[in-house]
Structure 1
Amino acid sequence: MPDLTFKIDNASVVPFAAVPMLAFKLQITNSVPDEAIHTIALRCQIQIEVTRRRYTPGEQEQMLDLFGQPDRWSQTLRSLLWTHVNWVVPTFAGTETVVDMQVPCSFDFNVAATKYFAGLTDGEIPLLFLFSGTIFYAPPDSSLQVAPISWEQEARYKLPVKLWREMMDAYYPNSVWINLHKDVFERLYRYKMQHSLLSWEQALEQILARLRTEEEIEVNS
C-alpha cells in the first residue's frame, strides 16, 4: 500500500486566471517503490496558524475585528480556516511527482481569512495543509487497488504577504469588496439616486461626512 508524504515547495500567482488564484507547488513522495499510482483524489484543508508569527502594533490594530484587544490574545488567538481544496493528481510512476495545487482566493471582507491577509503589512503567512483523500494504485503484477491517505499527513508553508498583496492589487487595484444585506444595499442605492451621486464612493463619503458633523455637534453641545 502506498505511503505518501507531502511537501509545499513554493507558491506563485496563476497568470490570467478568471479570479485571484495561487498555485502551491506540491511535492508528493511515495516511500513504497515499484507501485504505479494511477490517480489520487486529494482533499486538502488549509488553515492559517496565526500564533506562529509576530505582529507589529499597526497589524495588531488591524486584527481587532478578528481577535479583539491584544491583551486578550492569549485567549482569542486561534488558527483560522482559510479554505478547502479538492484536487486530482494524475498518474505517475516512480516515487515522486510534483503538481500545482491551485487555490482560489476571495477578496470578500466578510471572510475572516481575507481580513487577516489584508491586515498584514509584511513578512510571511504561516499555513498548515491537512491532507486526506483516496489513492488508486497498482502493485507489481496486481490489479487496481484503492487505499485512503493517512489522516496524519500534513505540510507547512510560509506564504509571503507581498505575494498575496501583489496579486490582489493586480485584480482589484485600489479597491475592496464589501458584501451587504439586500435591504441595506437598497437603502444605499436609493440615497445615491436621490442625491444624484455618480458613484458608491461619493454616497458613502457624504454619509460619513454627515455622521462626522453630527458627532462634532454632539461633542460641542
Structure 2
Amino acid sequence: MKLEVIASDEGSPSNPTAEPVFEVLDVESVPYAATPTLRFHLHVSDPAGRAVHAIALSTQIQIQPARRTYDRETQERLVELFGAPERWAATTHPFQWARIEALVPGFTGATSFAVEVPCTYDLEVASAKYFHGLRDGTVPLTFHFSGMILYRGTQDHLQVVPVPWSCHAQWAMPIAAWRAAMDEQYPGGGWVRLAPATLDRLAARKAARGHRSFDDTVHALLDERGEGAP
C-alpha cells in the first residue's frame, strides 16, 4: 500500500474545497467507569462522499461561559472563578476543559463515533469549579478538531490530509450529565482535596469533639464562624 501525504489544509486533490463536517449529538455518563466519565456521541460527514480509511482525531473541548446567562445565586457561587458580576464581561473568557485523542474507523460519506472525557470533582480545577457552580441549564461547549484524515485512493493508495483547523462544533451540554457522572462515583456526597496536615487536624478535631462524621466536624467549625447553612 502506498502513502501520499497532502501537506495543505485544503482537502484531497479530488475535491480541494470540501472538508469534514462534525456534529455533537448527545452525551451520557459512562456506568462502572474507573473514574467519572462522560461519553460524547459525535457525527462526521464528508460532503464529497469520499471513502475514508480512518481519522486520527484530536478533540479539544473548550467551555464558553459567556454564551449563557446566570442568576444572582449562580453568580455568587462562581465569584471565585470570574470575580464580581460587574466584571464578567471581561473575565468570562473561554477556557479548556479537555483534549482527547480518538481513532475514527473507516467510512464512506458519514459515520458516528464517540469520545470519552474523564471528569474530576477536584474543586481546585477550573472546569469542576464551574460545573459545580451550575445547578441547572446547560454548559456552552466548543469542540475544536484537528488531526489527520486517511482517504482511500485508487490503485491501493492512501492520501493523508490534515483535518482543517476550521473544523469545530458548538453544543450545549446539560449540566445534569456531569452531575450524573459525579453521582455514579460519589453518591450522596462530593470530594474536597485537603493537604495531609489539614486532614490530620480535622481528624483530631473530629475525635476530640466526638463527632460521628467529618460532615459534623465541618458543620461545627462553620457554625463557630457564624456561617449558616446555605
Q: TM-score w.r.t. structure 1 length?
A: 0.85
Match of 1:69 in 2: 84
> 5+ residue gaps in structure 1?
214-221
Match of 1:112 in 2: 126
* Cα separation, 2, equivalents of 1:49 and 1:81: 9
Q: Structure 2: which amino acid aligns with 1:135?
A: I
Shift in Å at residue 193 of structure 1?
4.5
Shift in Å at residue 197 of structure 1?
4.3
Match of 1:219 in 2: none
2:196 is aligned with 1:167: no
Is the CA contact (8 Å cut-off) linking 1:34 and 1:140 kept in structure 2?
Answer: no
Match of 2:192 in 1: 178
Secondary structure class of the residue paired with 1:177: coil
Match of 2:218 in 1: 204
Query: Structure 2 residue aligned with 1:131, among 127, 141, 145?
Result: 145
Is the CA contact (8 Å cut-off) linking 1:42 and 1:134 kept in structure 2?
Answer: yes
Q: Deviations over 1:36-86 (max 9, x none)?
A: x22222111111111111111111111111111111112212112111111
Q: CA RMSD in A?
A: 2.2
2:160 is aligned with 1:146: yes
Q: Structure 2: which amino acid aligns with 1:54?
A: T
Q: How many percent identity over aligned positions?
A: 36
Equivalent pairs counted in the alignment come to 211
Match of 2:20 in 1: 4
Match of 2:30 in 1: 14
Shift in Å at residue 160 of structure 1?
1.2
Cα 1:171–1:192, aligned 2, differ >3 Å: closer, same or farther?
A: same
Q: Deviations over 1:143-183 (max 9, x none)?
A: 22322111111001111122322332343223111112333
Query: Structure 1 residue aligned with 2:203, among 189, 199, 216?
Result: 189
Secondary structure class of the residue paired with 2:121: coil
Secondary structure class of the residue paired with 1:38: strand
Q: Deviations over 1:159-212 (max 9, x none)?
A: 112232233234322311111233323333344445554432233233334434
Is the CA contact (8 Å cut-off) linking 1:12 and 1:163 kept in structure 2?
Answer: yes
Q: TM-score w.r.t. structure 2 length?
A: 0.82
Match of 2:3 in 1: none
* Cα separation, 1, equivalents of 2:171 and 2:225: 44
Q: Deviations over 1:11-33 (max 9, x none)?
A: 22223322222221111112233
